[in-house]
Amino acid sequence: MLRVGIIGATGYSGLELVRLLLDHPLAKVVYATSRSYAGKELNEVFPGLKGHFNLRCEEFKLEKCVEACDFVFVALPHGLSEETVPKLIKAGKKVVDIGSDFRLDDLSQYETWYKRKANRPSDLKPIYGLAELNGDKVRGAQLVANPGCYPSATILGLAPLMDKNLIERQGIIVDAKTGVSGSGRSLSLSSHFSEVTENIKAYKVAVHQHTPEIEQELSKLGSGEKVVMNITTHLIPINRGILATCYGKLKEKKTTKELIDLYRAFYLEEPFVQVMPEGVMLGTREVSGSNSCMIGLKVDERINTVIVLSVIDNLGKGAAGQAIQNMNLMSGFEETLGLPRVGLIP
């Protein structure tokens, strides 16, 4: 039984890790830290765990963590993982970092997009943990950078097109919509119920920090030519779910059917990506609570543009689910172990 630690267990990603690992046959959460709730039982913080799971939240202590755990998930605010993770790596632990600190190859991008100076030790070799594209590298990795929620949906949505060089790499537009749990459990007016409900609102227009992450990974596919794109993010009054509506200018004419066939071939072996038949409407709820990504697409021949719809659960495939998928691969387990594939409907 893999002994698992969660650094930052009382945020929503942390809780989702706990929930999903409860039913994992080969892993068990044995160590959990929280700055805000240190000393409290996790099931006091989340009463739904009462009777089913118990563990006292601690303040993070390196020694204790190293002793207690074989595998560590780090779910800390941006900028904090960078300090903690290298120590765990040095101590020989396998780590999935759910934050952004290890996602970007070019450290200068952190200043541009995150407004902070990166401070990553140069000997760390994090692997970008989108298993559908990077599975082999993940298997051998000691440190995996778990992709962001928008990047997960967007990259999976566009990868087959990039791989075959079918769309223009300059000017891709991604109009993304997210539920509120993606903003986490920290209080802010923009997550205050009365400000969010009965509202649709754009935010971080043309400045979202996930932009370079998406560009970086898409640029690696196909021709390798640099991708420059826009992501405009919108807050929607639901709890879980991301829909990325991606608009790509086709280089040559393609029919909807041709592209669907291409996507099916590309994702044929992937248990967590499903490509929908033409005309099937996709909703975020289809994947709510699961680790699945569902993709639909349509060519608008009038403007020679392909519209790709990609949905995930931002806490599932967009965070904790994907982290466990990575853990499975890094630990030599079956990739799908303990991960729900079907969403909670209705």
- The string of DSSP codes covering 148-165 is PHHHHHHHHHHHHHHHTT
Is residue 188 part of the contact set for its own copies (CB under 8 A)? Answer: yes
CA pair distance 164, 258, nearest whole angstrom: 12
- The yes-or-no answer on residue 149 being catalytic is yes
Dig out the tokens for 62 from the structure. 């390196």
Of 58 and 313, the one with the shorter C-beta distance to its own copies is 313
Residue with smaller CB distance to its own copies, 108 or 199: 199
Torsion angles phi and psi, residue 254, rounded to 5: -140, 150
User: Which one is catalytic: 57, 65, 69, 149?
Assistant: 149
Number of residues that bind its own copies (CB under 8 A): 89
How is residue 126 annotated by DSSP? P
Under the binding rule (CB under 8 A), the answer on residue 266 touching its own copies is: no
Q: Which of 24, 94, 103, 177 binds its own copies (CB under 8 A)?
A: 177
Binders in 267-326 for its own copies, by CB under 8 A? 274, 276, 280-290, 292, 294, 296, 298-300, 302-305, 307, 309, 311
Q: How far is the CB of 101 from its own copies (least distance, A)?
A: 24
- Tell me the two tokens of residue 316: 């599932």
Give 123 or 198: the residue with its C-beta nearer to its own copies: 198
Task: Using CB atoms within 10 Å of the CB of residue 135, give its burial: 0 to 12 exposed, 13 to 18 middle, 19+ buried.
Answer: middle
Beta carbon of residue 58, minimum distance to its own copies (angstroms, whole number) = 21
- For the bound state, the minimum distance from the C-beta of residue 294 to its own copies, rounded and expressed in Å, comes to 7
State the first-to-last Cα distance of the chain, in angstroms, to the nearest integer. 34
Among 92, 115, 123, 193, binds its own copies (CB under 8 A): 193
CA pair distance 309, 28, nearest whole angstrom = 35
Across 17-38, b (16+ Cβ under 10 Å) vs e yields bbbbbeebeebebebbbbeebe
Locate all alpha helices (DSSP H) within 40-124, ordered by sequence.
42-45, 62-68, 81-90, 108-109
Q: Does 203 bind its own copies (CB under 8 A)?
A: yes
- Looking at 50-58, 62-70, 103-111, 127-135, which segment touches its own copies (CB under 8 A)? 50-58
Q: In this chain, which stretch among 103-111, 115-123, 132-140, 174-182 interacts with its own copies, using CB under 8 A?
A: 174-182
Q: For 35-118, where are the alpha helices, taking DSSP H only? A: 42-45, 62-68, 81-90, 108-109
- 80 touches its own copies (CB under 8 A): no
Q: Which is nearer to its own copies, 64 or 249 (CB)?
A: 249
Q: Using CB under 8 A, which of 29, 221, 229, 327 touches its own copies?
A: 229
User: In this structure, are residues 238 and 180 in contact, taking their beta carbons and an 8 Å threshold?
Assistant: yes
Query: At its nearest, how many Å lie between its own copies and the CB of residue 242?
Result: 8
Q: Closest distance between its own copies and the C-beta of residue 267, in Å?
A: 10
Tell me the C-alpha distance between 332 and 27, whole Å: 12
Nearest to 338 by CA among 90, 117, 32, 16: 16
Choices 127-135, 198-206, 317-325, 326-334; region in contact with its own copies by CB under 8 A: 198-206
Active-site positions read: 149
